[in-house]
Amino acid sequence: MAVDTAHPAGAVAGSGSPILPGALKDAFLTGLIALGLLGPLVGFETVVIDGALGLAYRPLVVAIMVGIIVAGRLILNLTVWSPNRPPKAQAGSSPVARGILAISPAFKPALLAFAVGFPFFATLMTGGLSESRYLIDLGILILTYVMLGWGLNIVVGLAGLLDLGYVAFYAVGAYTYALLATSAPVNDFFAAILGETFWANWAFWFCLPAAGAFAGLWGMILGFPVLRLRGDYLAIVTLAFGEIIRLVLINWVDFTGGGAGIASIPRATFFGIPFTAGEDGFAALFGLEFSPMHRLIFLYFVILALALITAFTTVRLRRLPVGRAWEALREDEIACRSLGLNTTNVKLSAFATGAMFGGFAGCFFAVRAGFVSPESFTFDISAMILAIVVLGGMGSQIGVAVAAAVMMGGMEMLRNLGFLKQIFGDGFDPSLYRMLLFGFAMVAIMIWKPRGLVSSRDPTIYLKEKKAVSGSLVKEGHG
Amino acid sequence: MDVFVQQLINGLTLGSIYGLIAIGYTMVFGIIGMVNFAHGDVFMVSSFIALICFLLVTTVMGITSIFLALAIVLVVAMFFTSLMNWAIERVAYRPLRGSFRLAPMISAIGMSIFLANFVQVSQGPRNKPVPPMVTDVIVIMEREGYQVTLAWKQIIIMVLTSVLLFGFWYLVQKTSLGRAQRAVEQDRKMAALLGINVDHTISLTFVIGAALAAVAGTMYLMYYGVANFADGFVPGVKAFTAAVLGGIGSLPGAVLGGLLIGLIEVFWSAYFSIEYKDVAAFSILAITLIFLPQGLLGRPEVEKV
């Protein structure tokens, strides 16, 4: 936030060689603006005292924030933005970028190996299965967002369609499984055909493809009328659809259980073998001691597999004509149309594919939590996934994965840092600041590195030799 | 009939508020072709600034005349909201002119999330109930115990909206600022060649939009008597719907759209179901964009390479 407000006064500073007066004046103006921006909302807090609204004052916080901004601005004006400073010679890529390029071939396999071995590391590190529960839960959460990020990446990163209602497909997937697995007629029907225990043990595995297919279908139904719209309109309409689905889930109480949601959704099984302590259970059959952690570790591998399927499909699709059409569409829609591409179909395929992966992730969410409610599918989730895609670099698989891990894992780590509590007092909860940081990071990344943190991108097509394309050389068409 | 008249009054009041917000959307879209996603949250922040100012004026300064207090609150809220929107444009949108297509939109979404959560963190997530400011009502019809009332606050909202709209229409049509604005809207490069300060004009557009949003925010606070950090999102989308329905880029269209959306929402709640009133508004947005993308009073859009 400090950086955010430090910019407005613009590059007025220092025209002559004695830059100090100019820098001081500029810093003063910045401070004035910062005071105007922060003063009302940070300086006063509305508090309810005895049922009536009153004000609490926080002049110290404002003073500190404005002080930081003024000092920062002054220092920047005298050093980095100083007109006397010789311009930096830009010869090739920076050493950091070269370093990243050098290790990048080893990065992906290393990351994959870490992801596969993570449950074992976690168990070893914490010294026991049940102690590693927290880490495994965190791993599942991160991988869910990696998968959602990769799914949305198809729509936003590859096809260049801004989808603000991605959470709708996540919700469709989750509710498909929740409703199918808990509805009596469906259960009776399949139990009669397949046998009662068989259906009970296999429900998740039958519903998973159904959830994906259903979400993809919804993607088509919603996408078809709106995909002819231009970019910004599409974003708003997808946002509206996301909200409509959530409102319907809340208000259609007979069908979806309303705001209370659906509870006691059947658990996942190890391909038909339930994770129970009984004789047919997973532990007994494999000769292990029963532990509820087996199910969690299995779930970890399920979401890892689902995420990898998403990544693999995307990589393969990019090599097919449809994938090339997506990327061409992102670069220049009018050129695509003049070359005879049916843009509506191309967009629709991207939209439906992205939606399908959202549906898979939603189905997984339902089986992991055992409970779904509309509260889990708010606009915040859409915004979070979009932030992950944007920060990771639209179109970059590895970037999205890293961004998801940093955003979800980093916030979780921050929560446990004791010294933050000592600085800011006991009531400090970093998770409150998560969305604040997400929003700020989205703005910052658009301004400084619009290609995302991992901005180099593998070219889809190349002649003889595959050269990495630096982000600064790729420029998108101005639509 | 009684219910109908009452709902008509309520709908027009609500519609005036939507119309004021919609102008901010429509002007920004007109001048730089971007949906200012954060505008709904600017509106929300303005209602918080108004709330804080109102509390300061009444409790600390001890002003008892409600109309004087309201006038002060209005001016203060307009000033600080304009400053904020100016800074937002300067920081988050101006560097992105000429960047790729989705960049300003993503930046605006980030700004919207930032503003909502900034208010949540600094003011707390709870609803802030305000003591009722203007409580007098005029009974205009009475039959079988059902009173049709016109509250003073509704009169204030409608009169203020009309006055502002007229002043604003005058500004855009008759002054040099308005001419510069329309020129930049038509052709930014040509306008710059002819000596119009483009950056300045765009900044002023954001300032005016924010000032009108601040009026809407203050009126919203006075009308509903509550402020909440999440209250920017849904009114924002509805106001955007109003701008689209009226034809984006068109000022009378924004107001017409606002009034229509207000009326539809109120009548829908009264005669169908209150639970689905937001669904109705969102559906209108989708239907308008699909079947009538140029809106009621807008010009059809010509796509240029």
Q: Count chain A–chain B contacts defined by CB atoms under 8 A.
A: 207
Residue to mutate among B88, B102, B269, B282, with most A CBs inside 10 A, is B102
Nearest to B95 among A239, A436, A447 (CB): A447
Is residue B114 assigned to a domain? yes
Is residue B260 assigned to a domain? yes
Q: How far apart are CA B263 and CA B294, in angstroms?
A: 21
Q: Chain A contacts of B84, Cβ < 8 Å?
A: 37
CATH of the domain at B132: 1.10.3470
Query: Do B45 and B81 form a contact (C-beta atoms < 8 A)?
Result: yes
How far is B303 from chain A, CA to nearest CA, in Å? 9
Q: Does residue A10 sit at the B interface (CB-CB below 8 Å)?
A: yes
Q: Chain A contacts of B289, Cβ < 8 Å?
A: 226, 229, 233, 236-237
Beta carbons of B113 and A439 less than 8 Å apart: yes
Q: Chain A contacts of B106, Cβ < 8 Å?
A: 162, 386, 390, 442, 446
Residue to mutate among A29, A33, A46, A434, with most B CBs inside 10 A, is A46
pLDDT tens digit sequence for B99-157 = 777 788 888 888 998 998 888 888 877 787 877 777 777 777 777 767 777 788 888 88
Per-residue pLDDT at A31 exceeds 90: no
Return per-residue pLDDT of chain B as tens, 305 residues: 777 888 888 888 888 889 889 988 888 888 887 888 889 999 999 999 988 888 888 877 777 777 888 888 889 999 999 999 999 998 888 888 877 777 888 888 889 989 988 888 888 777 878 777 777 777 777 777 677 777 888 888 888 888 888 888 888 888 888 888 888 888 888 888 888 888 888 898 899 889 989 999 988 888 888 888 888 888 888 898 888 888 887 788 888 889 998 998 888 888 887 778 888 888 888 888 778 777 787 776 655 54
Query: Do B231 and B237 form a contact (C-beta atoms < 8 A)?
Result: no
Beta carbons of B123 and A8 less than 8 Å apart: no
Q: Is A84 helix (H, G, I), strand (E, B) or coil?
A: coil
pLDDT tens digit sequence for B244-257 = 888 887 788 888 88
Is residue B281 assigned to a domain? yes
Q: How confident is the model at residue A250 (pLDDT cuts 50, 70, 90)?
A: confident
Residue to mutate among A66, A384, A443, A451, with most B CBs inside 10 A, is A443
Beta carbons of A53 and B130 less than 8 Å apart: yes
Which residues 267-296 in chain A show a CB within 8 A of chain B? none
What is the model's pLDDT at position A421? Answer: 65
Query: Domain range spanning residue B61?
Result: 2-291
pTM: predicted TM-score of the whole model, two decimal places: 0.83
| Terminal CA-CA length for chain B | 53
Is residue B239 assigned to a domain? yes
For residues A168-177, give the mean pLDDT: 91
Nearest to B102 among A54, A160, A435 (CB): A160
Number of domains in chain B: 1
Query: Do B53 and B73 form a contact (C-beta atoms < 8 A)?
Result: yes
Q: Does residue A83 sit at the B interface (CB-CB below 8 Å)?
A: no
Q: Does residue A251 sit at the B interface (CB-CB below 8 Å)?
A: yes
One-letter-per-residue 3-state SS of chain B: CHHHHHHHHHHHHHHHHHHHHHHHHHHHHHHHCCCCCCHHHHHHHHHHHHHHHHHHHHHHCCCCCHHHHHHHHHHHHHHHHHHHHHHHHHHHHHHHCCCCCCHHHHHHHHHHHHHHHHHHHHHCCCCEECCCCCCCEEEEEEECCEEEEEEHHHHHHHHHHHHHHHHHHHHHHHCHHHHHHHHHHHCHHHHHHCCCCHHHHHHHHHHHHHHHHHHHHHHHHHHHCEECHHHHHHHHHHHHHHHHHHCCCCHHHHHHHHHHHHHHHHHHHHHCCCCCHHHHHHHHHHHHHHHCCCCCCCCCCCCCC
The proportion of chain B whose per-residue pLDDT surpasses 70, expressed as a percent, equals 97
Beta carbons of A46 and B303 less than 8 Å apart: no
